[in-house]
Structure 1
């Protein structure tokens, strides 16, 4: 499913956190948002998964206006994994994943065999079937991310929104999580801090600075040394990944002026 964001602006306390952002995510594409802390990445994504209402602009899923949909309808099309997920109660992994079925159930409806099959397949798909009876709070960071992705997949969306999905994960877990996302075949809109992970896994990258998109394109086209110096304040050296050929970045400090 295609995602269209048109002229999106978010203003809070007379400060524009996001200003006039327009971007497209084609069906099945993995689209990355990168930029310094405070650049507006998370604010933009919060609008897409309806945690925040934009001041101006439009978001469309498959051509339909997001804000005109019921929350149930939008949840059937789009699932989100925010940057921080509160878990005060120690639900089992199976219970956490089952929450992904709520948009497809009537109020007070009981879990069906189809729901259980869908949740079981989602857990198996992320390699976490053996965790079904574990308490969510007992899991490692990487295991929790797998379970939360399984919950999103059990929701059976067409669009997946991820805000820093690799936070707090070691490098092996980061690669595993992004490979799972890539293999899902969904349209994915994700914010990433690690530019090399973004270059490796994203079809298109949008660089955001000061609430505006300052560069867009395939990783090789968007992540240029000149732009990285201007936006991130670092000197970047670009090399080709020896196996994938993807752009890989080596960084050092800019020389003193």
Structure 2
């Protein structure tokens, strides 16, 4: 399922946070958004999973305008893992994952055998079946992320939106989470802070600065020393990953003129 964002603009309290952004995520692609803090990445993603309404432009999923869908219809197509997930009550892991089935249930939510099988398969798929009876609040950061990804998989979407999914995770957990997402076969839009992780896992990168896309393309073509100096204010040295050949970056502070 492809995603098309066309001239999207978001203005809040007189401030323009995103301006005329146009991009496309092809079916099955993992598309990354990178940029400095406050550049508009999260604001853009919130429009894709309908947490925010744009001031102008459109988001189309499979050619259909998101605004023409009911909330239930869009939730069957798009699942999201926001940057901050607040769980005030200690639901079990099984209960958290079962919430992903709500868009597929009627007005009176009744868990079917199909729902149970889907949730069990989602937990097994992320290696978290053994956590089903645990309280969500007792889990480590990495375990929580796996469970939340399982909830998204149980939703059976065609598009997955992730906002900084590797925050607060150690490096092994970061690699595990992105590997799970990469292997899902879904169309994925994700914001990432770590440029090296983005270069390793993303098919396409869009660099956002000041609410606008300033560069787009394959990681090797986009992550140039010139662009990184201009957008991030750092001096970058490019080296190939010894196994994959993907571009990787070593950073220094920019020298004063």
The Cα shift of 1:108 comes to 1.5
Residue in 1 that maps onto 2:45: 45
TM-score (norm 2): 1.00
TM-score (norm 1): 1.00
Residue in 2 that maps onto 1:12: 12
1:196-249 per-residue CA deviation (whole Å, 9 max, x = no partner) reads: 000000000000000000000000011110000000000000010000000000
Contact 2:81-2:165 at 8 Å conserved across structures: yes
The Cα shift of 1:14 comes to 1.4
SS at 1:144's partner residue? helix
Query: 2:12 & 2:155 partners in 1: Cα distance?
Result: 31
SS at 1:116's partner residue? helix
Query: 1:143 & 1:193 partners in 2: Cα distance?
Result: 20
Residue in 2 that maps onto 1:169: 169
Query: 2:239 & 2:27 partners in 1: Cα distance?
Result: 29
Residue in 1 that maps onto 2:134: 134
Query: 2:180 & 2:109 partners in 1: Cα distance?
Result: 31
Residue in 1 that maps onto 2:24: 24
Residue in 1 that maps onto 2:85: 85
Runs of 4+ in 1 over 6 A off after TM superposition: none
1:91-110 per-residue CA deviation (whole Å, 9 max, x = no partner) reads: 00000000000000001131
1:51-74 per-residue CA deviation (whole Å, 9 max, x = no partner) reads: 000000000000000011000000
Give the RMSD, CA atoms, in angstroms: 0.4
Residue in 2 that maps onto 1:102: 102
Residue in 2 that maps onto 1:124: 124
- Give 1:49-64 correspondences, 5 Å limit: 49-64=49-64
Query: 2:109 & 2:256 partners in 1: Cα distance?
Result: 64
SS at 1:23's partner residue? strand
SS at 1:52's partner residue? coil
Query: 2:10 & 2:109 partners in 1: Cα distance?
Result: 37
Query: 1:109 & 1:233 partners in 2: Cα distance?
Result: 51
SS at 1:161's partner residue? strand
SS at 2:152's partner residue? helix
Query: 1:129 & 1:17 partners in 2: Cα distance?
Result: 40
- Give 1:70-81 correspondences, 5 Å limit: 70-81=70-81
Residue in 1 that maps onto 2:248: 248
The Cα shift of 1:145 comes to 0.1
The Cα shift of 1:127 comes to 0.2
Residue in 2 that maps onto 1:160: 160
Residue in 1 that maps onto 2:148: 148
